[in-house]
Structure 1
């Protein structure tokens, strides 16, 4: 199963007010494992970047004015995401910008039902708790110390880890690194060396047989298994 973890950075909150994308970052997961395949583009927004937006992601007009337009990277972006589900933190925000940019560039929009919103997942799993990406990283012990500002690719990488934890976490002990040591089977790992001990006799003694006969005579009349007991020797039998 292929999924795409996606994040964007923008010049503001509403494309209807003329705000644009400035960065897209995507991380590919296959069977809930990151493959190392990514898509990352800085985008010329064709407008100034407001100071309040630049404080969030650190991207300014001077940094972006020589980057490609969204229309130049749209086909490559659509080819990368294919028809895979999109894992997005606060999906409504990113999807409205992606679809606005696609429409302006003359491309078909992406159906919203392809998006899996990790904010909603977190709120269902932890009602009333903070659901920001930073808060979820702290909850799951994911190192985000290098996240001084928002960045689409970095946030997608962090979100991929958060998403897997929200789904129930990685299986403990599922380590896929190579080992140079000897290979042992599960039975060998469980084996414990113990000193040899000779088997103990389990045949009933004469006294145990007598007590068992007395129990049968008192509790169970005519028991079939009574015939399996060795015959009781008569007093003095076998004596010379």
Structure 2
């Protein structure tokens, strides 16, 4: 045993693992008998874990995993290296669509690209990882406004709604209408709102708890990504958005 091992902390970990493996929870008696630890030790450990929210009591008095562990689980999922899981999905999406694909995360008041797979075509339209774009005129930014930022109406009050093209939404009313459309469709579209001649679509990537943690998008010239292609591209995009968290959950 390591010299820095803390016996009671190790027992507490064992208690949570044992309780987590029991669908209906465990009684204190079942815990100290299963783990072969003194009843008083089991009582102190479980009481401490209950006070911290790591355990909870159900209506039968059995101990189950508590809400604090759910919160920690969400944070753990968010901290996984999403780029490594997203890369093969983006490569497949680029191959299927023939267009450049990317993954973005919310970074302050900007959408930041963290992974990019270029189009297999000779002419490519894609920014590089690390690029930060405004939320009101980018498809991934619209995803974050619609699905991740808690109070978008208040949030956009602090944004400078810069006009980049004739199609850019530059009023709060127009941006809110875009948010409503994105929520209705389940994906966002940038119709030449950031760069003339460039169309983008993006969809939310959600974790196991339904929380948006990233956005996956497709960027292409309007000459190749015509309006007629949007329905088919959206289907592939949504499949990719679902595939990324699935890979994270399976570890593939």
Normalised to the residue count of structure 1, the TM-score between the two structures is: 0.24
Q: Which has the higher contact order (CA 8 A, sep 6+)?
A: 1
Question: Counting helix residues as a fraction of each chain, which structure ranks higher?
Answer: 2
Normalised to the residue count of structure 2, the TM-score between the two structures is: 0.23
Larger radius of gyration: 1
